[in-house]
Amino acid sequence: MGPTTVLVIVVAALGLLVAGLTAALFQVIRQQGRLLLRIEQMERKLGFSPEDSVARGTVALQARDPAGLPVGTALPDFQLPVASGGTVTLAGLRGRSLLLVSWSARCGFCDRIAPDLARLRPLLERAGTALLLVGHAGEAAERELAESSGLTGSLALQDDGPEVLEAFAPLGTPAAYLLDAEGRVAAPLALGADQVLALAEKATGAQSTSHGVASATETHRIPPAGLALRPLAESRIERDGLRPGVPAPTFVLPEARGGQVALDQYRGRKVLLVFSDPHCGPCEELSPHLARIAAVHQGNGLAVVVIGRGDAEENRRKAERYGWDFPVAVQRRWEISRSYGIFATPVAYRIDEHGVIESGVARGVEEILALVPEASSGREVAHG
């Protein structure tokens, strides 16, 4: 190969490299341009002027910050269908305060605080504050939770578009803003069940100390008869699970393939009790390991019992897909999870022969497999 040929090859290679870099740079510039346009659109929808955006440092992005939107921010108008019929707009609610809650029937903590919000709603109305839950778990699921909790009249249904939930960005549920009569943020974002309840209680005008007794300098609105306001300290939500040594809450639930499952029927045997969900990714990862654990421990005193959420048919198909020959109970929303003090999947407890919890709550695949030592060693072999 002569010098001329080598030179031609080198020049050609350099040309290809330059072309590749140019194409990559073009894609980056185009993506950045789209991002800047999106930020500008969000800022316009949230009512920010260009001067405000510069002064605040792209305030629209603060909607995606856990700190939430600054107090004084004007939310854009919206129009959403209401579960009880008709539509609701932010403009139509102006003239009084609004507790706007990002909501989901698939959220265990939303399920847990729904009765508390229903209890507080008359007090909010008395204080001139409307309650609006913006649910986005699908109409059927949202209606079921709202109807069972007495919140149907306060439920709006959010579709998959941006609309009102841009104010909450991807912050999870429940989350809430208290808006003033002009539709402006009147208090910092409340994120999580405890903060949302505290903000709702504050909006009623009734305040309580951590001991449930208002101080002499605090204003305390007397609730109407039959609607005594429970101190927030008594409303704290158990989220860390039950401790070892306490009796495992009993249950009787329908089995996904027919019949019933009762925890009491396993007295005399240890139980690996697993809370799962057909739409949970880590639950899918755990599923084949549960089948192996059940097979390895068949007849030696350890039973595997799964409590699934959602539709019985979905749980049945999952059991068939993974060859589960152990019981798959189906809970309604989070009814049994609530009694075990945990609103997540997958989680598990190991229960002894006397029905007493002998392990703390195990969260996720690794911790659940660690409840059964043989399962951990088997997983190492499976992964080579």
Could you tell me if 85 and 215 lie in one domain? yes
Q: Are residues 262 and 330 in the same domain?
A: yes
What's the CATH code of the domain at 370? 3.40.30.10
Most confidently modeled of 43-52, 74-83, 132-141, 241-250? 241-250
pLDDT band for 237, please (50, 70, 90 cuts): very low
Evaluate whether residue 196 is within a structural domain.
yes
Tell whether the model's pLDDT for residue 381 goes beyond 60. no
- What is the C-alpha separation between 290 and 369, in angstroms, rounded? 9
Residues 223 and 277 in one domain: no
Residues 83 and 222 in one domain: yes
Kindly state whether residues 155 and 256 are assigned to the same domain.
no
Q: What is the mean pLDDT of residues 295-300?
A: 84
Are residues 214 and 154 part of one domain?
yes
Residue 265 banded pLDDT, cuts 50, 70, 90 = very high
Domains in the chain, number: 2
**pTM of the full structure:** 0.54
Q: Which domain-ending residue is among 175, 200, 234?
A: 234
For residue 12, being part of any structural domain is answered with: no
End residue of a domain, out of 234, 266, 299: 234
On whether residue 5 sits in a domain, the answer given is: no
Which neighbouring-strand residues pair with 135? 103, 157
Contact 207, 219 (CB under 8 A): yes
Same domain, 168 and 267: no
pLDDT (tens digit per residue) in 165-220: 567 766 778 899 999 999 999 999 998 888 999 999 999 986 443 333 333 223 33
pLDDT at 138: 80
336 close to 358: Cβ distance less than 8 angstroms:
no
Would residue 32 count as lying in a domain?
no
Cα distance between the two ends of the chain: 49
| Whether 261 and 205 share a structural domain | no
Overall average pLDDT of the 79-92 stretch: 87
Looking at the fold, whether 170 and 127 belong to one and the same domain comes out as: yes
Same domain, 226 and 363: no
Range of the domain at 84: 61-234
In a domain, 185, yes or no: yes
pLDDT over 50 at 225, yes or no: no
301: left (phi over 0), alpha (psi -120 to 50) or beta: left
pLDDT at 68: 81
In a domain, 273, yes or no: yes
- My answer on whether 130 and 269 are in the same domain is no
The per-residue pLDDT of the chain, averaged, comes to: 77
The pLDDT score that the predictor gives to residue 378 is: 42
pLDDT at 200: 93
The domain boundary residue, chosen from 234, 260, 294: 234
Q: Does residue 346 fall inside a structural domain?
A: yes
Between these two residues, 76 and 43, which has the higher pLDDT value? Answer: 76
Provide the pLDDT for residue 299: 75
- Residues 145 and 191 occupy one common structural domain: yes
Is 18 within a domain?
no
The pLDDT confidence band at residue 19, using thresholds 50, 70 and 90, is low
